[in-house]
Structure 1
């Protein structure tokens, strides 16, 4: 796999501002992913040195970001990269970790569930293969709630994953281990998956950038083929450029072409355009500020002042940057709560649990499975048909705008015990925390969360930008403009320095 075209431009930019700082080994985790890539490319540091450094940090982690660490395999992989002449892979020698929903041959993959405890697959999932082909070095598996069904990362098998530096607060979910690992400096970036907010929620909770691509955009985990088409893979990183770099790797280009294997695909862009858009951060756009959520008629949703403050910061800086800002009301989506719940329940019921395994799962999973098994084919068909109608409504309402702005979370990061033990109550608590993420999955649109604000208590609050189908580049460009005005990377660095 060859590096995208803009990478020579990256090298020129790095050279123009001076080589990445490598004055001592502890500086490695302080480098952005793009600067670390540059240092690896120039052989100013070896892939083995990088892997050893991050493995040592994982060893000292207190956030429970990792559930499996694979040092021997990682170092062997790093040595092979160091020995190779080819320096063009997209994420050459950069460490990452697979979310514990992604199977990697020979590596324990437990899906955060006691029902899958000790499972070791013999075949790797496409996303693991794609990131290997892109030159990455997997250090292990990051934590997830059971089967990724929750918006917070707590598991009876692996325990709580917490916001780094705040052991009383959860890291969000379901890609909570990935986000905690990046926020704690255990990885320069990390892949996650997002079926209702599972990249954006933990990224926002941990003060990071998280990008959910359009349905069909990432062939290895596209959403195509699932009932509802909700779940897609996306990157979590400290910076917009780093998120774009990992996104380029996740596309799995072969000779510059994204190898789509279905008829559903997002509009094709020029090679490397996502990274170029993030680096340049150019353009003036029409942006709507959304009021309301699709859950308002079913759940008592309250948008906290901290979330409104985050939007105020984003609006202020977007206005100063010259964008056109307008207000937009959430379009009516009658019955949304029931439709989304049915699709979520059907997804759970599709997991092939036998009676013994079902006896081992947690209350939320059992409730989802049992409710899903009660659904008839007519129930599911109607839910999918209604979700498609919602998609048309949302895409149509948002079409006049280049991006639509919402809070990523309605509330600040949540205490570990906030969701409770009652499964239906826990589901509603998740909705109260993040009522403006799942409808983006239903619509198949791209969205990015940006850590624009910090509360008086020092907690991150994110703003979400939702784009048109296939227009991840626009979101990255706007995100980079905000990043220049709000230097959030320094906040994260300060947390784990």
Structure 2
């Protein structure tokens, strides 16, 4: 598809959302049709995967900037995922991943570059959210050399992470560190068990961003590395499917392993 001028780090991807591995495979076949004579994702998803070595990790590159503390429900989802995978014949083990502590600053620089260069009429800028408005201003004040430095670092980060992940067939981690949040939680001020809507609180861009990173600390680096990943809802906060809120695991594979990830999800009954 080529590189977008506003996304030089290649962070934006197209991927299906579905209720089953088969449906995801069907949509992938539409997004990336197989070559003539070669089986598509849907056909390959019906095949059983080989026994795999799966590395389990709670390490996150965002630990260098924010405390990352997975909630009990996130850990319960991870335990449920490990149990399902091992009962399916796969082997899991602890994978200690070391991420460069320069990642948070470099990722933020690359991620916000697009909003800085977006063509927005000055009279419409007040309509932007505090997060977007603040990050747009910072991006515009940043030099081109700083952006190039960040992009160069992310390519080094990619090579280093791929080398570490390469010790395993797949990597496993929680999909999210926290349970799904109510509308307004990221832009409102939390007070006890509730929150104040943004309309009653001016909002703070850095607080919003911190909450996002702590909510999903295992997502951005997968985009940076260009790796396929799949999220599988293996746990419900109410104890049974359909009760409470879904919590998932994230399986990450090497480049080109989309079919394998779909096979594993189908094998687990999804």
Residue in structure 2 matched with residue 345 of structure 1 by the alignment: 112
Residue in structure 2 matched with residue 470 of structure 1 by the alignment: 256
Equivalent residue in structure 1 for 2:219, among 429, 437, 441: 437
Equivalent residue in structure 2 for 1:274, among 35, 41, 44: 41
Residue in structure 1 matched with residue 207 of structure 2 by the alignment: 425
Structure 1: gaps (5+ residues): 1-218, 258-269, 488-497
Equivalent residue in structure 2 for 1:330, among 83, 97, 106: 97
CA drift of 1:252 comes to 4.8
Distance 2:49 2:226 in 1: 25
Distance 1:359 1:415 in 2: 25
Equivalent residue in structure 2 for 1:460, among 221, 246, 254: 246
Q: Which has the higher contact order (CA 8 A, sep 6+)?
A: 2
Distance 2:268 2:224 in 1: 27
TM-score (norm 2): 0.88
Equivalent residue in structure 2 for 1:238, among 1, 19, 27: 19
Residue in structure 2 matched with residue 207 of structure 1 by the alignment: none
CA drift of 1:287 comes to 0.8
8 Å CA contact 2:134, 2:205 repeated in 1: yes
- The residue correspondences of 1:303-382 to structure 2 (distance < 5 A) are 303-382=70-149
Looking at CA atoms only, which structure, 1 or 2, has the larger radius of gyration? 1
8 Å CA contact 1:223, 1:231 repeated in 2: no
8 Å CA contact 1:408, 1:434 repeated in 2: yes
8 Å CA contact 2:60, 2:99 repeated in 1: no
8 Å CA contact 2:75, 2:174 repeated in 1: yes
Q: 1:306 and 1:401, CA in 2 relative to 1: closer, same or farther beyond 3 A? A: same
Q: How many residues align?
A: 250
Distance 1:383 1:376 in 2: 11
CA drift of 1:279 comes to 1.9
Distance 1:316 1:453 in 2: 12
8 Å CA contact 2:33, 2:40 repeated in 1: no
8 Å CA contact 1:283, 1:477 repeated in 2: no
CA drift of 1:275 comes to 1.4
CA drift of 1:277 comes to 2.4
Residue in structure 2 matched with residue 81 of structure 1 by the alignment: none
Equivalent residue in structure 1 for 2:231, among 449, 458, 466: 449
8 Å CA contact 1:223, 1:230 repeated in 2: no
- The residue correspondences of 1:84-483 to structure 2 (distance < 5 A) are 219=1, 226-252=7-33, 256=35, 271-419=38-186, 420=188, 421-456=203-238, 458-483=244-269
TM-score (norm 1): 0.48
CA drift of 1:354 comes to 2.1
Distance 1:363 1:285 in 2: 45
Distance 1:291 1:434 in 2: 12
